[in-house]
């Protein structure tokens, strides 16, 4: 047993990594660097989480990015044996070996359902390992996958709920990109990868709901659609509720509304 072990749980370790990443991003922002990409959290054999980050950044900023990330990774106990070699490593994507999408897809797959992967790094059945990783993440409440930078995925998802928008509608370009599953045109329609949230042309439309939840508290704000300018577009066409009636249950559905009907 490691004599330095202090009884920390995997969740404690995840919170530590989140803190390191928050400080790193703040430092990068002060230096004018705004990387975007995705993060995947994996588990070591002892349950300790470690991160894989896929970052996109202008080539001339790459060295400064690596220096800053390594600095914050080594801030705590950075002089312990092996820290310099293993605490932080960086790899430049080699296009001859595959794309960035293929790189991140591998890590998502091995931690989701192991689709397309026969065995894990230890030679065990990949599907069984993926099930164990999911159980580990659920037990400790660890978010396995996260995208950062760029427009919100929530807007993309709401756009995909809309069946049709006329070509002269201000959300048409973003909707068409989302409907076709084309992320890059969607990002451009939202102002680019570094656009501030308050400059996005499309935002979520929410309404306050006083209906109590299971804890007899107000439900709060609920997403009902999208807002482009002053004109909301309804994307949530049904409101479902579950009423338990012995021995089964029934579902009640609200009337449909047109995809272009204003949300009340």
Return the active site residues: 103, 107
The token duo for 2 is 């490691």
Instruction: Please state at what angle helix 126-140 crosses helix 100-110, rounded to 10 degrees.
Output: 80
Residue with tokens 């995705």: 38
Give me the sheet containing 231-234, strands edge to edge: 203-212, 218-228, 231-234
Task: Select from 53, 88, 85, 38 the least CA-distant residue to 67.
Answer: 88
Question: Strand ranges (DSSP E) for 36-166?
Answer: 36-43, 49-56, 145-148
- C-beta of residue 201 within 8 angstroms of C-beta of residue 191: yes
| CB neighbour class for 264 (10 Å; exposed up to 12, middle 13-18, buried from 19) | exposed
């Amino acid at each position: 047993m490691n004599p330095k072990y202090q009884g920390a749980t995997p969740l404690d370790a995840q919170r530590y990594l989140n803190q390191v990443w928050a400080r790193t991003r703040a430092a990068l922002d002060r230096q004018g660097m705004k990387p975007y990409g995705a993060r995947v959290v994996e588990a070591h054999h002892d349950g300790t989480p470690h991160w894989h980050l896929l970052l996109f950044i202008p080539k001339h900023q790459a060295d400064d990015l690596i220096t800053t990330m390594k600095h914050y990774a080594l801030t705590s106990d950075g002089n312990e044996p092996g820290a310099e070699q293993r605490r932080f490593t960086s790899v430049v994507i080699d296009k001859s070996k595959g794309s960035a999408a293929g790189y991140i897809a591998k890590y998502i797959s091995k931690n989701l359902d192991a689709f397309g992967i026969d065995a894990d790094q230890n030679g065990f059945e990949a599907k069984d390992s993926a099930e164990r990783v999911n159980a580990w993440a659920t037990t400790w409440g660890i978010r396995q996958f996260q995208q950062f930078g760029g427009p919100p995925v929530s807007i993309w998802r709401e756009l995909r709920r809309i069946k049709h928008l006329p070509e002269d509608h201000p959300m048409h370009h973003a909707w068409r990109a989302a409907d076709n599953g084309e992320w890059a045109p969607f990002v451009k329609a939202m102002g680019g990868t570094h656009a501030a949230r308050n400059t996005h042309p499309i935002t979520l439309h929410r309404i306050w709901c006083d209906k109590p939840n299971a804890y007899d508290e107000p439900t709060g704000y609920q997403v009902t659609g999208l807002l482009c300018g002053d004109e909301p577009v309804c994307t949530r066409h049904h409101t479902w509720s579950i009423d338990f009636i012995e021995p089964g249950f029934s579902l009640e559905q609200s009337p449909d509304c047109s995809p272009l009907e204003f949300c009340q």
